[in-house]
Structure 1
Amino acid sequence: MNNTMLAAIAESAQAPLALRQVARPIPGKGQVLVKVHAAGVNPLDTKIAAGAAAHARQALPAILGLDLAGTVVAVGEAVTGFAPGDEVFGMAGGIGGAQGAMAEYIAVDARLIAAKPQALTQREAAALPLAFITAWEGLVDRANVRAGQRVLVHGGAGGVGQVAVQLAKARGAEVFATGSADSLDFIRSLGATAIDYRAQSVDSYLEQYTAGEGFDIVYDTVGGQTLDASFQAVKTYTGHVLSCLGWGEHRLAPLSFKSATYSGVFTLLPLLTGKGREHHGAILREAAALADAGQLRIRVDQQRYALQDVNEAFRQVAQGQGKTVIELLS
């Protein structure tokens, strides 16, 4: 193994990413070196590249990419549970000054990764970590989703939304999800009742599906006005609204008058602060178990991208074109 690798680097804001030969990382204490087979491209990656994601604390130039799947090739000091040859996946870099996954190799904190699900390809596994962790931290950690509850997921065909639907179903809830007309069949294929948010008002689907009482849990994966609609859609007293995009300014009165609760989800915190990283690894082990049990799948964009196609992949994601993955096949 030589001491350099190919990487896609965001050299300055709004400039095309450049392919460069850079030094291959060496795993430090608590880290493993992973040969990257696939790197997920998330909307956050495109925002960092555009210079529009200060909360990610990733100064440019930088190698981007939060999500990865690959094979362990070396293990640093004080690492247990992983060995060379292990197939792994995780959300392990690309923010907070850390190298991202859009490179041939990455040194990652072993606490942030888990064994890849056998039921998923490397490409599928690389599309999963950020979405699944975000769904789990909301539905399980904050809201304790369970059987007997009615759950509404806003944006049920999106990256987080499609996983949230499946997670809520796997834990026994009755699931409903909003989407545009062209996404409704996919939402139904996940086992949820699909709601066309353009064709039906909140009051209308509340009456149709909850007799006007509201949903036990509402997960907003869209933000903006959709969070306000979530306050409207939640059940009085016991209802719980979640949002992974609750960054705007909103009137809390509609929620307060229902005596309902709200939780924000900021999935990046363990990567930025170093606290709670073990929990991310544990969540990914839950994802692998669900996938291997046939209860979790991820729809990936049919278009295939190599590292050399990184700028086209970024354009697709910036336009909202599904879960996109870059494959490093060498």
Structure 2
Amino acid sequence: MNPLDGKIRSGQAAHARQPLPAVLGMDLAGTIEALGEGVSGWLPGDEVYAMATGIGGAQGSLAQFAVVDARLLAHKPGNLSMRETAGLPLVLITAWEGLVDRARVRAGQKVLIHGGAGGVGHVAVQIARAFGAEVFATGSAGQQAIIESFGATFIDYRKSSVEDYVAEHTGGEGFDIVYDTVGGETLDASFKAARVYEGHVVSCLGWGQHSLAPLSFRAATYSGVFTLLPLLTGKGGEHHGQILRDAAKLIEAGKLKPLLDPRQFTLQTAEAAHELLAGGAAQGRLVIEI
């Protein structure tokens, strides 16, 4: 489950509103039951995962069966369970698009992830490390152990100012990449943390009104990530499938894993999962098993 599922359910996500009656659920992992006419490269029985449903008019994955655009599919990583795999697609694609596609993360860079214990954040930390970057991540004191378990240097955003952690961790130079997964004031702080000339700020929640002046005075770069575009426009689906295939190699190499909430839910208890997500009480990704 993703926070957007809850927003669609409550009518808050105008850009992703579904026609009623609607079946929610964007992420899935499962087994191919049958192939549509003209579909090649797949066989019944293949285990797959994707972000492919529950938006753009397509019925969602909270069901026993789902009709999926084959371009969006990738083979399930062999070392993860279906439950683990189902918790990855949207956050994995979002993190990958920001770090790999937009910012071109590479070895030797210093990368700052805002919200390093969150859905997108904990995956972004692992991707950056897998590409050889030195990773730092912000969070609250209670999230320190999670962030450090994924190999990032923890920064308590409540105790350290932007100026403080930029000075401490970059000698005042700024970070090569700053990925904002929080939005609002955190995006404004990101502009101040970027390296002069070469810095790149990426955000998956850059929807508010922000002054670009701090970033412009650094002659740095900004990129936005809007992961839903292929489902809303029908364009770019092949690339999402390729991201999941490329990421599966990192997963099978032991460099990437999801953080799941230990509580388990079924289709019959999905309402409780929605309430948990809406209340901000999830301790990792929430997955519905059907």
TM-score in terms of structure 1 length:
0.86
| Contact 1:317 1:323 survives alignment (8 Å) | no
Q: Secondary structure at the match of 2:288?
A: strand
**Is 1:197 equivalent to 2:180 in the alignment?**
no
How many residues were matched structurally?
A: 288
C-alpha distance after superposition, 1:63-96 (max 9, x if no partner): 0100000000101111111111111000011001
**Mapping 1:43-82, distance limit 5 Å:** 43-82=3-42
Query: Partner letter of residue 87 of structure 2?
Result: A
Deviation at 1:288, TM superposition (A): 1.0
Q: Report the AA paired with residue 89 of structure 2.
A: P
The CA deviation string for residues 164-189 of structure 1, in whole angstroms up to 9 with x for no partner, is 00000000111000011011111011
Give the Cα–Cα distance (whole angstroms) in 1 for the partners of residues 233 and 118 of structure 2: 27
Instruction: Determine if contact 1:71/1:88 at 8 Å carries over to the other structure.
Output: yes
Distance 1:155 1:205 in 2: 15
Greater percentage in helix: 2
Q: Which residue of the partner structure matches residue 324 of structure 1?
A: 286
Q: 1:212 aligns with which of 164, 172, 189?
A: 172
Deviation of 1:59 after TM superposition, in Å, equals 2.7
Structure with more of its chain in strand, by fraction: 1
Displacement of 1:61: 2.3
Q: Which stretch shifts more, 81-90 or 53-62?
A: 53-62
Match of 1:20?
Answer: none
RMSD: 0.7
Distance 1:298 1:317 in 2: 17
Structure 2 residue 186 is the aligned partner of structure 1 residue 226 = yes
Query: What do the CA deviations read for 1:262-310 (whole angstroms, capped 9, x no partner)?
Result: 0000000011101110000000001211110000000100000010011
CA distance, structure 2, for counterparts of residue 194 and residue 152 of structure 1: 10
In 2, distance between residues paired with 1:59 and 1:150? 44
Unaligned runs of 5+ in 1: 1-40
Q: Could you say which residue in structure 1 is the equivalent of 2:229?
A: 269
Distance 1:105 1:138 in 2: 31
Residue 91 of structure 2: aligned partner: 131
| Equivalent position of 2:274 in the other structure | 314
Distance between the aligned counterparts of 2:246 and 2:18, measured in 1? 29
Q: How does 1:48-197 map to 2 (within 5 A)?
A: 48-197=8-157
CA contact 2:11–2:17 (8 Å) conserved in 1: no
Q: How many Å separate the matches in 1 of 2:3 and 2:240?
A: 20
Q: Secondary structure at the match of 1:73?
A: coil
Deviation at residue 148 of structure 1 after TM alignment: 1.3
Cα offsets for 1:135-191 (capped at 9, x unmatched): 111001101000111000000000000000000000011100001101111101101
* Structure 1 moving runs of 4+ over 6 Å: none
2:286 is aligned with what amino acid?
Answer: T
TM-score normalised to the size of structure 2?
A: 0.98
The one-letter code sitting in structure 2 at the alignment partner of 1:66 is: M
> Identity of counterpart residues, as a percentage?
66
